[in-house]
Amino acid sequence: MANILVIHGPNLNLLGTREPEVYGTETLASINKHLAQMAEQNEVRLRTYQSNTEGNIISCIQQAASKDIQFIIINPGAFTHTSIAIRDAFLATRIPFIEVHVSNVYAREEFRSHSYLSDIALGVISGFGRNSYLLAFEAAIIHCNQS
Ligand code: DQA
């Protein structure tokens, strides 16, 4: 059974109330619920993790290798644009991953157009709200079934 980890970075615990004009009104709990339903339907194992702390996210990526995680979906939040350390954690563990954003980062401030992760990700999905996660999850399931 495929084992997929979804990591939500800083401030994503505030989804639902945080800048609703940008991020919508859906909460993180609701997004995780939809992911859990999809995991059940597709018979894959899902873990979700949220942290506002860069070091905790790095530890989570490092530990994923020993927990037999085959694929990671990550919304790194603002760490997307700043974190060489998260990039290095992915390079070290070599676990394939998809970078996800709720908003379309390319339609916003210029600094959001740069990511330290995109070029080493399997792919990037940005701008579809909750569906960014669900589309990434579908792609992750297909990838795990093929490998
Ligand atoms: C975000 C986009 C980032 O630029 C921002 O810092 C976030 C959320 C998104 O999901 O759209 O915190 O990753």
pLDDT value at residue 68: 93
pTM above 0.85? yes
pLDDT value at residue 71: 98
Residues 61-79: tens digit of each pLDDT: 999 989 999 999 999 999 9
Q: Are 30 and 17 contacting, i.e. CB atoms less than 8 angstroms apart?
A: no
**For 17-43, what is the HEC assignment?**
CCCHHHHCCCCHHHHHHHHHHHHHHHC
Alpha-carbon separation of residue 130 from 37, 59, 111 (angstroms): 13, 25, 23
Among 74, 80, 106, 109, which residue has the most ligand 1 atoms within 8 Å of its CB, making it the best to mutate?
80
The pLDDT-based confidence of 1 (bands split at 50, 70, 90) is: confident
Which protein residue's CA is at the shortest distance from atom 1 of ligand 1? 77
